[in-house]
Amino acid sequence: MKEYKTINQIAGPLVFVEGISGVSYGEIVEIILPFGERKKGQVLDISESVAVVQIFGTTSGINISQTSVKFLGDTMRVSVSDDMLGRIFTGMGEPKDRGPKIIPEEKLDINGLPINPYSRECPADFIQTGISTIDAMNTLVRGQKLPIFSASGLPHNQLAAQIARQAKVRGTEEEFAVVFAAVGITHEEASFFMRNFERTGALEKSAVFLNLANDPSVERLITPRIALTVAEYLAFEHDMHVLAIITDMTNYAESLREIAAARQEVPGRRGYPGYMYTDLATIYERAGRVRGRKGTVTQLSILTMPGDDKTHPIPDLTGYITEGQIVLGRDLYRKNIYPPVDVLPSLSRLMNLGIGKQKTREDHKGVSDQMYAAYATGRDLRSLSAVVGEEALTDTDRKYLRFADEFENKFVRQSLYEDRNIEQTLDLGWNLLSLLPEEELKRVKSEHIEKYLKKNASVRTC
């Protein structure tokens, strides 16, 4: 192994090493500090005699004369094994609990390789999360990547924990293994998840990777990749259905910007690097189903929108890569509605593949579309009635207003431990739709109105 003492420049997380030879691009580097402390890094740029190394962790304590640099001859790899379930690791993949070392079945490159689009299979198995706004209107399917767009102060952690707890594929006993990656979140948030997993016994089928707020920010670029490498391994080598939860992707993007700035790269929008789309894609695209393999990787990442702004580069680029998004709304939260899922900007692109006859119920799509249209109309009318008063509205309009209110109170709202099955959810939907005149129900098929509307009509006194 080649070792050098030829550092000639240190700038932020970057170290420039001179006079090297035989070093490859992307290679992992070990830095040995004067007092024996060791750090890791990666080669970012390599020419005939100079290597630029990015250090994971802080660069404090590195000096030019006494620090030595060892090139390890390979790119970043993680040891994987199915014994990793039930264990807790650091953001770099080292065991953090008191358990034994992992005996690797394989050592895999954390960057993975792109899945051949030809080898993919369309995700189509409905996941019942027990949450009405997701199951009925933004259906999650196995192998999908569906992020939660949240904002500071909203209960996205509770929602993610509830999904992890309740998610199941109906008609099968197959359980989800959870791979959880904490990226730059606080100790408090991390321990919320840990307690939750412990209490529900979910920890035994989870592998947890923790990069906390006070861990080096460069490691944040590594943690999700390690977690997804493990997820892919469990799914495609051990036939497991894996739910990968990554929180919080905003911290990831912040790190990406920090490193790009240190490298003095030309910044793109709001200082984020121009390649952020490609970089995020190498994370989000690591989900799906592969032909001939039983396992799947479903990705549920959480990001907090800076300033509640959906057009901020982080949620914006994410939305262009992921298969939809679940958006949490502050207005709903203020009304004390949990989970505050704002269905209008939310979307599941793969929904149509997972619903309908034999999968959920024949009326699913119609009910969902009708509720979307009705709720949107109701919300518009709310602002109108604020100006002109409810009296100036037509009868039908007033019914829409009532629908929007009931929708939020009965359909969106549910308790932290309420696990509604899809029939309950859809029946509840029909119950709400019965508030509207029948001729307004253009999105549902006439035969479904016959079959479901009467049965679930709410008894109205007014």
Partner 1 sequence: MATKKTNDENSARGYLKRISGPVVEVSNLTDAKLYDVLRVGKQGLIGEIIKIVGNTCIVQVYEDTSRLKPGEPVENTEQPLSVELGPGLLKNIYDGIQRPLKDIEAKSGHYITRGINVPPLPRDIKWEFTAKVKIGERVKVGDIIGEVQETELILHRILSPYEGIINKIKSGKYTVEQEIGEITVGGKKNNLYMYQKWFVRIPRPCAEKFPPIIPLITGQRIIDTFFPVSKGGTAAIPGPFGSGKTVTQQSLAKYSDTEIVVYIGCGERGNEMTEVLTEFPHLKDDKTGKPLMERTVLIANTSNMPVAAREASIYTGITIAEYYRDMGYNVALMADSTSRWAEALREIGGRLEEMPGEEGYPAYLARRLAEFYERAGRVQTLGKDERYGSISIIGAVSPPGGDISEPVSQNTLRVTKVFLALDAALAQRRHFPAINWLMSYSLYKDSLDEWFRTNVAHDFPGMRDKAMELLQKEAELQEIVQLVGPDALPDKEQVVLFVTKMLREDFLQQNAYSEIDAKASFKKQYLMLKSIIFFYEKAIHAIDIGVQLKKIQDNLVTMKIGRMKEIKENELEKLSELHKEIDVSFTEIVKK
**Which residues 77-116 are close enough to bind partner 1 by CB under 8 A?**
109, 111-116
Kindly write out the interface string for residues 208-237 of this chain, putting x where it contacts partner 1 by CB under 8 A and - elsewhere.
----------------------------x-
Contact 357/347 with Cβ under 8 angstroms? Answer: no
Residues in region 316-375 near partner 1 by CB under 8 A:
316-317, 319-321, 323-325, 344-345, 347, 349-350, 352-353, 365, 369, 372-373
Rounded CA separation 84/386 (Å): 56
Q: Least distance (Å) from partner 1 to the CB of residue 201?
A: 32
Candidates 15, 27, 256, 436: give the one binding partner 1 (CB under 8 A). 27
Q: Least distance (Å) from partner 1 to the CB of residue 178?
A: 22
Give the H or E element holding residue 354.
helix 351-354
Candidates 1, 266, 459, 462: give the one binding partner 1 (CB under 8 A). 266
Of 202-210, 381-389, 401-409, 413-421: span binding partner 1 (CB under 8 A): 381-389
Tokens read off for 93: 């993949």
Residues in region 125-164 near partner 1 by CB under 8 A:
143-144
Residues in region 42-81 near partner 1 by CB under 8 A:
44-48, 74-75
By three-state DSSP, how is residue 34 classified?
A: coil
Contact 245/126 with Cβ under 8 angstroms? Answer: no
Candidates 188, 278, 423, 454: give the one binding partner 1 (CB under 8 A). 278
Instruction: Give the nearer residue to partner 1 in terms of CB position, either 3 or 198.
Output: 3
Candidates 17, 23, 234, 245: give the one binding partner 1 (CB under 8 A). 23
Which of 207, 182, 204 has the alpha carbon at shortest distance from 297?
Answer: 207
Rounded CA separation 216/221 (Å): 10
Is 22 a binder of partner 1 (CB under 8 A)?
yes
Candidates 118, 214, 307, 336: give the one binding partner 1 (CB under 8 A). 118
Q: Least distance (Å) from partner 1 to the CB of residue 375?
A: 8
Instruction: Give the nearer residue to partner 1 in terms of CB position, either 179 or 317.
Output: 317
AA identity, residue 80: V
Instruction: Give the nearer residue to partner 1 in terms of CB position, either 65 or 311.
Output: 311
Candidates 101, 439, 459, 460: give the one binding partner 1 (CB under 8 A). 439
Q: Which residues contact 461 (CB under 8 A, 6 or more apart)?
A: none
Instruction: Give the nearer residue to partner 1 in terms of CB position, either 87 or 359.
Output: 359
Is 277 a binder of partner 1 (CB under 8 A)?
yes
Rounded CA separation 311/3 (Å): 47
Residues in region 389-418 near partner 1 by CB under 8 A:
389, 392-394, 397
Contact 166/425 with Cβ under 8 angstroms? Answer: no
Helices (H), 147-273: 156-166, 187-199, 223-238, 249-262
Distance between first and last Cα of the chain: 83
Of 9-17, 127-135, 271-279, 402-410: span binding partner 1 (CB under 8 A): 271-279
In sign, the C-alpha dihedral spanning 160, 163, 165, 167 is: negative
Which of 423, 412, 434 has the alpha carbon at shortest distance from 134?
Answer: 412
Instruction: Give the nearer residue to partner 1 in terms of CB position, either 1 or 459.
Output: 1
Rounded CA separation 12/323 (Å): 36
Contact 206/86 with Cβ under 8 angstroms? Answer: yes
Rounded CA separation 202/166 (Å): 10
Is 8 a binder of partner 1 (CB under 8 A)?
no
Instruction: Give the nearer residue to partner 1 in terms of CB position, either 92 or 305.
Output: 305
Candidates 157, 247, 251, 377: give the one binding partner 1 (CB under 8 A). 377
Of 9-17, 213-221, 266-274, 402-410: span binding partner 1 (CB under 8 A): 266-274
324: left (phi over 0), alpha (psi -120 to 50) or beta: left
Instruction: Give the nearer residue to partner 1 in terms of CB position, either 5 or 442.
Output: 442
Rounded CA separation 24/460 (Å): 73
